[in-house]
Amino acid sequence: MISNGNAFSLQNFEEQVSKIMLQRGQEYYEAGAVEDLEDNDGKWTAEVEGSETYAVSVTLKKDDKIVQYYCDCPYDGMICKHVIAVLYEIRDELIKRIAVPKKGSKKNQFEDLLLKISAGEYRVFIKDYAPKNKDFKLAFELFFADKDGRIDTGKLYTDIIKKLIKKYTGKGYMDYRSSQSFAKEVNQLVDKGFGFADKKNFVEAFVIATVALKEMIQVITYCDDSSGALGDALINITELISSIALGDDAIMDMKERVFGFLQTELTDGIYFDYGDFGYELMDIFQTLAEEINKHEEFLGFIDAWLPRLANRNSRYQEDFFETSKIEFLKAIGREEEAGELIVQNMEIVEVRQAEVDKAIDNKDFILAKNLVGEGIGIAQEKKHPGTVTQWEKQLLRIALLENDLLLVRKYYKQFAFDSNWFSIDYYRMLKATYSADIWQGVIETTIKDITIKTTKKHGGSKWESLNSSLLSALSPIYIEEKFTDRLFELVKQETDIDRIMKYHNDLVFTYAAELLQLYIPALEIQGDNATERSRYAQLVGNMKNIMKAFPHEKEKVIAVAKKLKAKYPRRPAMLDELKAVLL
């Protein structure tokens, strides 16, 4: 950021910055990376799409002099490419303003002109202009499509989407930013489809949905959709199809049309290779098959898919289709066939779970436990620890129904102190099974066991101190049991400000002065280790929180900020962030 800017303006900034940075900023500007540009009485703000979305602000005087500028990117130099892109955008906007007619011009000149033109003149203009402007012709035909049944709206919508694909694709690839913009425009078209559906024009809504789906599913194979924008658009299309086929106002003719479309389209494996939309569409397909009595067609579809899945070596998809077939056979009353398939597919978790549920409902706990035990063995053989845990929770469920207190406590403790996280819910359920006096002995033993286990697991690791490992493992217990003194004994040995402040609310009422003594040196350590703007912002955030917690001691925090400012005069991003504390 600058604050004097006397020789720095919109007219000469290109001469004031390095050629490399200027080129990068210009590229961002020309690529349309500057978004949401706003002017608030000379204070301009915008967002710039880079590797992330960065916030930029620029303050101008009336003579276009640049008084201040700011960007929250990590760049430490004089001016970053994001600010330069915004300067270009501001200059462009100001030029546009100059071109706007002055006061006194007719505000409704265009509307007045429309009123003066005759219907014949309209026709002559449209007939002459439409061949020269394909976008206008396309929009015109779509708007008036209901006036002429010969107009193929499917082709028109396809042309629109293909044009968008071409617009946002470069060298056979759609990048991150382009994917977002493309998805935004497709969603606008899909929203139009929802509008048609609301008006019960299901035919036009279905045309939009099918065209958008078929084109989008191809695009997702060659794009960067790490933002999830295209995936969300496909889910949006799926919801439109669902509203057309399964909504309260859905008609039989449309149910038939949607069923036929899905029966054909879902033979393409691409729908199941990217995201969950293929499975969402399968749910619609299956529901329709039940509603409109297309039993054999649906079962034939499943049977045609299963051999293909074996060849594709796709266990998840194969399990999904087998489970769908079983559920469908049950739904249409063909229990015997469903039973045969269940026996053949007991390795599928969902199939086995359904049988466990049935056994529990029948209070046949022995059978239920046998089924779960077999499921655990299968999961262990496949090395699926998550599935093992899932089955163990079924054993807990059964133990609760059988009032097996020892087994209940075993699983409560296991799930409370999972190796990857601490569960406060299971901890409290475990505690509730003991009287207060017995619990004291239980928890002390547990703390001792965790300490031994954590120390052994740490094994002199260089990545984290033993104290930090013990703090992570024991702090949930100390907080829940209000063992504040023990918690502070571990916290006071830490030097990382973020780790210390994590326990601020748990300790501040008992150890306020001691905490402040820990915070001050830890802030300086954080400042010494910070190397980019996001870390500087985190540092300043911690400073603000400490000053808020200790308003009478804020000078101590300010002293740290001053010390860091003096120590690192060549870190402009740090100095810029520290202003929030020093001003």
* Domain that includes residue 75, residue range: 13-99
As a whole number, mean pLDDT of residues 38-64 equals 83
Cα(201)–Cα(191) distance, integer angstroms:
13
- Sequence-distant (6+) residues with CB within 8 A of 296 are none
Three-state SS for 293? coil
Cα(571)–Cα(2) distance, integer angstroms:
14
Question: What does the pLDDT look like over 529-556, one tens digit per residue?
Answer: 998 999 999 999 999 999 999 999 999 9
Q: Is residue 34 part of a domain?
A: yes
| Percent over 90 (pLDDT), the chain | 60
Q: Is residue 93 part of a domain?
A: yes
Residue 28 — very low, low, confident or very high, per pLDDT cuts 50/70/90?
Answer: confident
As a whole number, mean pLDDT of residues 161-185 equals 91
What's the one-letter identity of residue 137?
K
Domain boundary among 71, 99, 127: 99
As a whole number, mean pLDDT of residues 210-234 equals 91
Instruction: State the pLDDT at residue 75.
Output: 79
Asked if residue 273 has pLDDT above 90, the reply is: no
Structure tokens given for 260: 């036929």
As a whole number, mean pLDDT of residues 342-347 equals 94
Domain boundary among 73, 99, 125: 99
Q: Is residue 547 part of a domain?
A: yes
Question: What does the pLDDT look like over 513-523, one tens digit per residue?
Answer: 999 999 999 99
Cα(384)–Cα(75) distance, integer angstroms:
44
Neighbours of 289 (CB within 10 A): 23
What does the mean pLDDT of the chain come to? 88
Identify the residue whose tokens are 């009032």.
403
Q: What is the pTM of this model?
A: 0.64
Same domain membership, residue 532 and residue 483 = no
Q: Please give the tally of structural domains in the chain.
A: 4
As a whole number, mean pLDDT of residues 154-177 equals 89
Cα(413)–Cα(442) distance, integer angstroms:
11
Question: What does the pLDDT look like over 52-102, one tens digit per residue?
Answer: 788 889 888 876 788 888 888 877 778 889 899 999 888 888 777 665 555
Domain boundary among 491, 517, 538: 491
Instruction: State the pLDDT at residue 48.
Output: 87
- Smallest Cα–Cα separation from 72: which of 498, 525, 535, 543? 535
Q: Is residue 46 part of a domain?
A: yes
Q: Is residue 388 part of a domain?
A: no
Instruction: State the pLDDT at residue 38.
Output: 87
